[in-house]
Each structure stands twice: as structure tokens, then as C-alpha cells.
Amino acid sequence: MSPAPSLPLLTVDHAVATITLNRPAHRNRLEDADLHALLDHFERINQDTRIRVLVLQANTQGQKRPVFSAGYHVGGFDGEAHDPAFFQKIPDALAALRPLTVCALNGSVYGGATDLLMACDLRIGLKACELRMPAVALGLHYYPSGLQRYVALLGLALTQRAFLTARALPLETLAQQGLFEALCDADDFDSTLQSLLKDLRQLAPLAAETTKASLRGLAQGPNERWLTEVRARETLTSQSADFAEGRQAFLEKRPPQFNRK
């Protein structure tokens, strides 16, 4: 029997939050209720300053071939209350989250769900899976921030292949462009993820979050406002207790004990 579908699940284990897409019988397609649930989860995560890392994964139980997400449910486009601009809010909110974000891509990914992959800070992927962007084949022009993320991460040529052919791209091809921290066999997937999370938890929280925000602004195009914000973040971290502890730990050759002050 296939698992009963439900809204995305949020669990929190100390500094790590995990959101699990949970419609495996429907290839984890994203329905409007899922999108609203994701926004609610994002808000809770942003408000809980104990959370330093978010992992986005999918329940692939019972699937013949693992699918992280089949994308937005096509039937949703026909609803009377459908807002064409609403989907964009979810990857935009994911990209803007305070904690570091990791997409644990434990299956193939399609359509709008590919932008959830792009919106995360770091990614690990499952070997022998694929990405497909069928927007143009369906007669749809993609939204601006999604296009920007694709080009920033994959470059123009590979983005053109993805959109203008609508053909599936092996994750191995994307990995050659540096999109993934690692591509793993199923047996090594969880251990690779846990190793990455261990490294992320050891970073200084304030420096990690402010640097993430500065890099995001750089990807959108630097300007005077960006430079001002970066200088303010640099000053903030240089005067922080974390930086003092980091220097002292380095001199004493011990692991630093960071806090949020």
C-alpha cells in the first residue's frame, strides 16, 4: 500500500529543521495547500533563532523510481482562485530564509519544484536521477526570479538547454557545473547529508547568516545599497562575541563554542 499523502512535514531537532514533501503516491506534486504549508513552515523557521540549518527533502516511499517532486499540480492552473504569481513566493521565501538551507534531492525533480532546488544554498543529489523543466513545452513563460536563479547557478547555456528543449537533464550534467556538494548512491545519501550538516553546525551562526544574505544580494546584482548592507554586516561580525571566540579557539587549537551574541 502507498503511504497516505499529507501536507509537507516540519520537524526540528536542535539546530536543524527538516521539511519533508509528503505526497509520495503522487510523486510529491505540489498542490496549493502544500504551498501555503511551506510558507507557514518558513515563517516558523525564521522566527526560531535556535534553528541554524534547514533541510528540504521528500518522502519517496513506495515509488518505483524516486521522485523528489513532480512540480506544481497541473490541475491547479484551472482553479478559479488560481493566482499565477503565487508559486513564485515559495522559492523566493526559501531563498530569503535566515538559516542556511540544504536541498537533499533524493529523487528526480520536475517543473516548478526545480526552483526549490535552485533556491537552497547547498545541495546533495541522488545518482541516476534527473531534472526536467517543461514550462515552454506547456506553453508557459517562467517567472523572473526563477530564471535568474537558473542562470546564476547553471549559466546561460545550460539554462537554455533546460528551458528551450524541455528535455530531462541528468543530475550528473548539473553536477559538472558545480550545482551539487555531492552526488551519492542511495546507500551513502544519508551519511553524506549528515556529514554536511555537521560541518554547517560548526560555523559561526551570525557570520554564516550575514554572509549568506550578502551572497544572495551579490547574485541579484551588486549596487550601492548592497555595498552598504555588506559593510554593516562586516562590522557586526567583526565586533561579535563569535569572532572573539573564533580567534581565541584558533590560538588555543580547540573547537570554537559559538553563540548568537
CATH at residue 150? 3.90.226.10
CA distance 185 to 188: 5
Per-residue pLDDT tens for 224-246?
A: 887 788 878 888 888 899 888 88
Residue 99 resides in a domain:
yes
Q: What is the DSSP string of 138-169?
A: GT-PPPHHHHHHHHHHHHHHHHHHHHHH---E
Q: Which of 201, 219, 244 is the last residue of a domain?
A: 201
Counts for the chain of helices (H) and strands (E), in that order: 9, 10
Q: How confident is the model at residue 77 (pLDDT cuts 50, 70, 90)?
A: low
Residues 144 and 215 placed together within one structural domain of the fold: no
Tell me how far the alpha carbon of residue 248 is from its chain's centroid. Answer: 33
Per-residue pLDDT tens for 181-219?
A: 999 999 999 999 999 999 999 999 999 999 999 998 888
User: Are the C-beta atoms of residues 82 and 76 closer than 8 Å to each other?
Assistant: yes
pLDDT score for 169: 98
Residue 32 resides in a domain:
yes
Share of the chain above pLDDT 90, in %: 75
Residue 144 resides in a domain:
yes
Residues 101 and 216 placed together within one structural domain of the fold: no
Q: How confident is the model at residue 260 (pLDDT cuts 50, 70, 90)?
A: low
Residues 223 and 107 placed together within one structural domain of the fold: no
Residue 179 resides in a domain:
yes
DSSP conformational letter for 7? S
CA nearest to 112, candidates 138, 139, 142: 142
User: Are the C-beta atoms of residues 55 and 102 closer than 8 Å to each other?
Assistant: yes
* 79, pLDDT greater than 70: no
Residues 18 and 49 placed together within one structural domain of the fold: yes
Q: What is the pTM of this model?
A: 0.89
Q: Which helix H or strand E contains 171, and what residues bound it?
A: helix 171-175
The average confidence (pLDDT) of the chain is 92
Strand pairing partners for 104?
124
Q: Which of 186, 201, 216 is the last residue of a domain?
A: 201
Residue 161 resides in a domain:
yes
Residues 174 and 240 placed together within one structural domain of the fold: no
Residues 173 and 247 placed together within one structural domain of the fold: no
Residues 132 and 86 placed together within one structural domain of the fold: yes
Q: What is the DSSP string of 131-143?
A: EE--TGGGT-PPP
Residues 140 and 186 placed together within one structural domain of the fold: yes
Residues 152 and 213 placed together within one structural domain of the fold: no
Residues 172 and 235 placed together within one structural domain of the fold: no
Residue 2 resides in a domain:
no
Residue 196 resides in a domain:
yes
Q: Is residue 13 left, alpha or beta, with left meaning phi > 0 and alpha meaning psi from -120 to 50?
A: beta
CA nearest to 194, candidates 20, 53, 42, 50: 53
pLDDT score for 261: 46
Residues 82 and 145 placed together within one structural domain of the fold: yes
Rg (CA), the chain: 19
User: Are the C-beta atoms of residues 113 and 30 closer than 8 Å to each other?
Assistant: yes
Secondary structure (3-state) at 200 = helix
Q: For the chain, what is the domain count? A: 2
pLDDT score for 1: 41
Residue 236 resides in a domain:
yes
CA nearest to 54, candidates 112, 5, 99: 99
Task: Extract the C-alpha cell encoding 251.
Answer: 590560538
Per-residue pLDDT tens for 141-167?
A: 999 999 999 999 999 999 999 999 999
Residues 209 and 120 placed together within one structural domain of the fold: no
Range of the domain at 128: 9-201
pLDDT score for 82: 60
Q: Which of 180, 201, 222 is the last residue of a domain?
A: 201
